[in-house]
Amino acid sequence: MKRYLSLLIPFFLAACGSQPDGRLRIGVSIPTQREERWVRDVATLRSQCAAKNFVFMLQISDNDAARQLAQCENLLAQKIDVLILAPHDAAAASVIVEKARAQGVKVISYDRLVLNADVDLYLSFDNVRVGELQGDYLTKLVPKGNYVVLSGAPTDHNAALFKEGAMKIIKPLADRGDIKIVMEQPVKDWQPLEAMKLMENALTASGNKIDAVLAPNDGTAGGCVQALAAQGLAGKIPVTGQDAELSAVRRIADGTQAMTVFKDTRRLAEAAVDAAEKLAAGKDPGVNSAVPNGKISVPSRLLSPTAVDKANLSAVLIESGYIKKEDVYK
């Protein structure tokens, strides 16, 4: 940890002052509420702020970088102390960070890393590890054959990290000739419909000769499964996922999706509010790593993800209270 000490120095300098009423004002900017995981994030962030009597101010950009900038400018105008920012566009969001720092507002890059900016803290899961879990699972199940390799939105830096992790496992087998990648494409804005269209194209081009599908998250996995189902192949070709969304967990229980990667967003949101409080007080927010963003090595707090399939679904998701058994198996 000695190598991170220099990264912590800014946290022990002047603290952000709270408002005259003594309540910490936390602004939250997220890209979407179209995915279940982001709904969960907001619910936990809201409840954690309420428990600590913090002011919670939310903006949702609906996957629009210009709108996110305008919304964050509005939050800054309302004198927030800390901005929890999950960028839609990792590069474009650097302007938001610059504006926040100009006002002395601490910025937590939440779940997704803001590029080329002086972010105070990056709080996420080990996203390269997420991809490694997906790639390892898929290649053990299908060590040889035709692969469709999809990645997330090009505007989301996490998508690159997920793919990096997965390709650490897949590429050596592809280089050896055991695996043939018949399609390798990003999915615009993580949209399930886009994933479905790409999967349909891959099936058509290969004459349905697909053996495995790397889908970067559960939404895109659902699109892929829908395309496979139309050809009578759902459940016959393993599809990965991520986020442990209820619809995906149901597919895993039914056998049409092979696995998902569980990132307990309850822990992430709890850690974000805790980190916001500590940053505002000039304290260490729990840094355990450092991640380069093109400008600085960002002090980071990374949590561990877990691979989930039919074998451990109950132990990991149901017994932890994340999902109710009756919701999965009804």
Place of tokens 């659902």: 222
**Whether the Cβ atoms of residue 42 and residue 57 lie closer than 8 Å to each other:** no
pLDDT tens digits for range 262-291 = 999 899 999 999 999 999 999 999 999 999
The answer, yes or no, to whether residue 2 has pLDDT greater than 70, is no
Strand-pair partners of 229: none
**In this structure, what token pair is assigned to residue 221?**
């996995």
Place of tokens 């879990």: 133
**In this structure, what token pair is assigned to residue 184?**
């390798």
Radius of gyration, alpha carbons of the chain: 20
**Whether the Cβ atoms of residue 239 and residue 228 lie closer than 8 Å to each other:** yes
* Sequence-ordered list of residues with C-beta below 8 angstroms from that of 273, at least 6 positions apart, any chain: 26, 45, 48, 49, 52, 54
| Cα–Cα distance for residue pair 60/279, rounded to 1 Å | 23
Share of the chain above pLDDT 90, in %: 91
pTM: 0.82
pLDDT tens digits for range 8-42 = 434 433 344 445 578 999 999 999 998 888 999 99
| Cα–Cα distance for residue pair 142/133, rounded to 1 Å | 14
Provide the pLDDT for residue 113.
96
Cα 16 versus chain centre, distance: 28
Confidence of residue 187 (pLDDT cuts 50, 70, 90): very high
